[in-house]
Amino acid sequence: MAMTAAPTTAAPSTAASPTAAPTAAAPTAAAAIATASYASPLFHIQRPLNIFIAGGTGFVGRELAVRLVRRGHQLRVATRNAAHGDELLPLSSVEIREGNVYSVDFLRSCLDGCDVAINLVGALNPPGGAAAGLRRVHVQFTAALLAAIAEAGVPRLLQMSALNADAEHGASHYLRTKGEAEQLVRGSRERLDWTIFRPSVIFGPADSLTNRFAVLLRLTGGWLPLARARARFAPIHVGDVAEAFLRALAGGSTSRQTYELCGPDVLTLEQIVRLTAAAAQRSCHIWPLPDALAWLQGVAMQCVPGKPFSVDNYHSLLIDSVCRTSGCGELGIQPVSLCALAPLWLAPHSLAPQGEAPRG
């Protein structure tokens, strides 16, 4: 077995903490995966795994980390800045490694002894401009990770993509670079066992979707000029996304599959804003922008610190973000509804954690 310590008793670790990698005497990670026993042939792994997560400090990563630790797995999270992982520190059996995440050597050292790698790295408006910045975050990072995975002999990769990702025909740099990263994963070495996830927009107490609109509505007294108001989404709860990753950990029938992940409600952007306003008990007066003005809004907002909206985001909104196949159904997940849950964190005096600005 690849584990060294009982994960539920391991102390939270920091950037400076020593690695909890398996001993040299342990069987290889690949052999361990092959002999792992499952409570059900598909989803339930009975033994703890060593799991590497890139992008584990983010909105999805934090939710996934909590669930993985609860099930007894041992995590190693790579980050550009150890402080980004502060919220993970209370979790047992999580090791934070700070370093140059684009360095194959750094990633290789993080992957030592791991059974599974999870790639959650992504950004909507990273530094460096839409084309070069997104290429670096999605394509260059995935290429470095795949090289490190090959060197370390890690047998399994779970790759986060996005609905409508398409290397050739994607509507935006974001969607094209996500598609290119998918292509790299699919074209990787024979022995790598991968699964790709393509969610629609993801919601939850710490999201940057509903929380951002709630802040905007508060700042503007409820008046909102809205780009692509009729663009449709099927928002999926962060817990359902994390559950999809958990169910694919073991491989089995999820190996070499791509899952589209959508929630039960198909909503226009305008409906999402109205729902947010209702949950937050704010007034709401939406001015749907014609496309030319929406594009100009992107031009203006990408110059604002934090780039809350961009021309590339506008291009992503040109295509509906709704599933053609039900990944949740295939994985046995019954997704929860944004309409039902939004008041839990948006209602005035809610104690749930609020969203944070995405990091570039």
101 binds ligand NAP (CB under 6 A): yes
Residue 106, SS3?
helix
248 contact partners, CB below 8 Å, separation of at least 6: 158, 195, 197, 254, 257, 259, 331
Sole window of 19-27, 42-50, 53-61, 277-285 interacting with ligand NAP (rule: CB under 6 A): 53-61
Q: 33 or 119, CB closer to ligand NAP?
A: 119
Give Cα separations from 177 to 100, 103, 133, 240, 326 (angstroms): 21, 19, 10, 24, 23
Enumerate residues 6+ apart whose C-beta is below 8 A from 293. 225, 227
316 touches ligand NAP (CB under 6 A): no
The angle that helices 141-152 and 104-111 make with each other, rounded to 10 degrees, is 50
Q: Which is nearer to ligand NAP, 123 or 269 (CB)?
A: 123
47: exposed, middle or buried (C-beta count within 10 Å: 0-12, 13-18, 19+)?
middle
What is 34-48 written as a DSSP string?
Answer: HH--BSSSSS-B-S-
- Which listed range, 76-84, 149-157, 332-340, 346-354, lies at the site for ligand NAP (CB under 6 A)? 76-84
Among 29, 157, 162, 338, binds ligand NAP (CB under 6 A): 162
Range in contact with ligand NAP (rule: CB under 6 A) among 32-40, 118-126, 282-290, 309-317: 118-126
- The verdict on 244 binding ligand NAP (CB under 6 A) reads no
Give the span between the Cα atoms of 182 and 138, in whole angstroms.
Answer: 9
Compute how many other C-beta atoms are within 10 angstroms of the C-beta atom of residue 81: 13
Q: Residue 76 interacts with ligand NAP (CB under 6 A)?
A: no
Q: Which is nearer to ligand NAP, 22 or 126 (CB)?
A: 126
The distance of closest approach from Cβ of residue 187 to ligand NAP in the complex, given in angstroms and rounded to an integer, is: 19
Length of the chain: 360
Query: Would you state the structure tokens that stand for residue 172, as one six-digit string?
Result: 């935006």
CB of 186 to ligand NAP, least distance (A): 17
Q: In the bound complex, what is the minimum distance in angstroms from residue 120's beta carbon to ligand NAP?
A: 4
CB of 80 to ligand NAP, least distance (A): 4
Residue 58 contacts ligand NAP per CB under 6 A: yes
Q: Is 158 in the site for ligand NAP (CB under 6 A)?
A: no
Other Cβ atoms less than 10 A from the Cβ of 55: the count is 23
Angle between helices 173-186 and 141-152 (to 10 degrees): 20
Which residues, listed in sequence order, are joined to residue 132 by a DSSP beta bridge? none
Q: Which listed range, 42-50, 54-62, 263-271, 303-311, lies at the site for ligand NAP (CB under 6 A)?
A: 54-62
Nearer Cβ to ligand NAP (54/280): 54
Nearer to ligand NAP, 306 or 329 (CB): 306
Q: Which residues bind ligand NAP (CB under 6 A)?
A: 55, 57-61, 79-81, 84, 101, 120-123, 126, 137, 141, 160, 162, 199, 201-202, 358-360
